[in-house]
């Protein structure tokens, strides 16, 4: 299949280009290197050393014996997107090319509006170009589990049956996002649904959980193929940050009471799931939703896993709760379905702790790069608009005491 990856220079996009190529697909990618700029703006750098795109493309050719066709440009520029589609004629598009951080979108009004314009306009451009150039192609659109928020009832995959005043219907499950970024994904979902309805496009909207991990097998041991791995408050996700904290001796930091629950999945599972969605497309005109995660975890439970694995590797670490810069429930019910991908053959990685072990082993080699920027491990972007470093707090009495090593 000819597959276009929008956002190919990013954390997920770069490994996906290798994973799909290894499976025999013809892959092309689009990016404008925004992610590199955002992380710099946060005063940070990737823990893994990242090559320039020219070097990445060379390494790709050497390792996979084929070229990755790369288009540098901005998805919010309609003419650029149109030219890419005319030239590559994709049969499927994986749209990862959006601003992915909740804290970054909450910094101030400029970051909020910029995030929403970037994400929503890029997606609308892709939908229009699909309509005009390749209406039979399949859009695999990255949304987020965070679109649903944390309701006090079970979360279905996109739609639920509801009876109201004696009548029944199948309706989109309510979205209650927790940041301007997550809201941009809700708006995207509405727009993609509408485009499928009026133009007969087909799309899989992926409600993905939080991804963690440094590598996939397809990277082998060629360091030029490494994907980025961020640890700042905006672009580092929870487990990845916890591992960076552990290797540098900074406290592992659950926010607030630390009982937030989320769906998580290793990078290698994300690749597997996106490929399953691509290789099992929906019918023409169908808009479907997959909840994509391996397992639901409580943040403190994850902090304890990182602490335990680090300890087993002789790395001294401690867990200290820190003020929560976000407004979110810190103790709540959370029970999302995730059956669609399992039905199509998704085999979840079994062991989170061994994945954490791999991350820690990798990070020890790049500890200096994290230490150089260690101040970014403490958050200061608060949902109320203040920009003040958070302070460590006493753990909630319900939080299991962890013996500090």
Active site residue 26: no
Residue tagged active-site, from 11, 19, 148, 181: 181
Report how far residue 141's alpha carbon sits from residue 130's, in angstroms, rounded to the nearest whole number: 13
Q: Which is nearer to ligand NAD, 49 or 200 (CB)?
A: 49
Q: Which is nearer to ligand NAD, 210 or 322 (CB)?
A: 210
Q: Which does 326 bind (CB under 5 to 8 A by kind): ligand NAD, ligand USQ, none?
A: ligand USQ
- Residue 161 DSSP label: E
Active site residue 185: yes
3-state secondary structure of 40: helix
Q: Which is nearer to ligand USQ, 84 or 142 (CB)?
A: 142
Cβ(272)–Cβ(348) below 8 Å = no
Q: Which is nearer to ligand NAD, 76 or 183 (CB)?
A: 76
The site string for ligand NAD over 382-401 (x = CB under 6 A, - otherwise) reads --------------------
Report how far residue 355's alpha carbon sits from residue 18's, in angstroms, rounded to the nearest whole number: 20
Q: Which is nearer to ligand NAD, 18 or 96 (CB)?
A: 96
Q: What is the DSSP string of 82-123?
A: HHHHHHH--SEEEE--S---HHHHTS-HHHHHHHHHHHHHHH
Kindly compute the dihedral angle of the four CA atoms of residues 381, 384, 386, 392, in this order, to the nearest 10 degrees: -60
Minimum distance between the CB of residue 259 and ligand USQ, rounded to whole angstroms? 9
Residue tagged active-site, from 19, 141, 185, 257: 185
Cβ(230)–Cβ(11) below 8 Å = yes
Q: With the C-alpha atoms ordered 197, 200, 201, 202, is the resulting torsion angle positive or negative?
A: positive
And the tokens for 113?
A: 């509006």
Cβ(315)–Cβ(250) below 8 Å = no
Residue tagged active-site, from 144, 227, 248, 275: 144
Report how far residue 49's alpha carbon sits from residue 233's, in angstroms, rounded to the nearest whole number: 19
Q: Enumerate binding residues for ligand USQ (CB under 6 A).
A: 100-102, 144-146, 209-210, 237-238, 241, 253-255, 260, 262-263, 299, 326, 328
Which residues in 6-65 contact ligand NAD (CB under 6 A)? 7, 9-13, 30-35
Which residues in 63-102 contact ligand NAD (CB under 6 A)? 74-76, 96-100
With binding defined as CB under 6 A, does residue 130 bind ligand NAD?
no
Cβ(212)–Cβ(355) below 8 Å = yes
Minimum distance between the CB of residue 347 and ligand USQ, rounded to whole angstroms? 21
Active site residue 144: yes
Catalytic amino acids? Answer: 144, 181, 185
Which residues here bind ligand NAD, judged by CB under 6 A? 7, 9-13, 30-35, 74-76, 96-100, 118, 122, 142, 144, 208, 210-211, 237
């Amino acid at each position: 299949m000819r597959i276009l990856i929008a956002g190919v220079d990013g954390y997920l996009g770069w490994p996906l280009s290798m994973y799909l190529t290894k499976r025999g697909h013809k892959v092309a990618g689009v990016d404008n290197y925004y992610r590199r700029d955002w992380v710099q703006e946060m005063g940070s750098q990737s823990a893994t050393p990242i090559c320039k795109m020219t070097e990445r493309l060379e390494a790709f050719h050497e390792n996979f014996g084929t070229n990755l066709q790369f288009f540098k440009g901005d998805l919010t520029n309609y003419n650029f997107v149109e030219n890419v589609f005319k030239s590559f004629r994709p049969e499927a598009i994986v749209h990862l090319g959006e601003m992915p951080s909740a804290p970054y979108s909450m910094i101030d009004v400029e970051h909020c509006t910029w995030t929403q314009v970037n994400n929503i306009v890029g997606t609308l451009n892709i939908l229009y170009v699909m309509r005009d150039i390749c209406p039979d192609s399949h859009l695999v659109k990255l949304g987020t589990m965070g679109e649903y928020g944390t309701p006090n009832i079970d979360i279905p995959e996109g739609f639920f049956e509801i009876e109201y005043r004696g009548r029944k219907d199948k309706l989109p499950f309510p979205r209650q996002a927790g940041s301007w970024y997550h809201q941009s994904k809700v708006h995207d979902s509405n727009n993609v649904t509408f485009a499928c309805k009026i133009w007969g496009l087909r799309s899989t909207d992926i409600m993905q959980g939080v991804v963690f991990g440094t590598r996939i097998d397809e990277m082998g041991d060629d360091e030029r193929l490494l994907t980025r791995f961020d640890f700042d408050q905006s672009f580092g996700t929870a487990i990845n940050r916890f591992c960076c904290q552990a290797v540098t001796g900074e406290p592992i930091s659950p926010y607030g009471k630390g009982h937030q629950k989320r769906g998580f999945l290793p990078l290698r599972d994300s690749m597997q799931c996106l490929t399953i969605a691509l290789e099992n497309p929906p019918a023409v005109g169908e808009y479907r939703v997959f909840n994509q995660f391996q397992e639901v975890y409580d943040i403190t439970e994850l902090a304890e896993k990182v602490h335990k694995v680090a300890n087993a590797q002789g790395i001294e670490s401690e867990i200290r709760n820190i003020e929560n810069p976000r407004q979110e429930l810190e103790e709540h019910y959370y029970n999302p379905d995730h059956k669609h991908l399992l039905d199509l053959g998704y085999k979840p990685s079994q062991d989170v702790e061994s994945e954490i072990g791999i991350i820690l082993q990798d990070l020890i080699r790049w500890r200096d790069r994290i230490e150089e920027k260690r101040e970014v491990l403490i958050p200061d972007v608060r949902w109320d608009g203040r920009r003040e470093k958070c302070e460590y707090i006493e753990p909630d009495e319900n939080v299991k005491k962890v013996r500090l090593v």
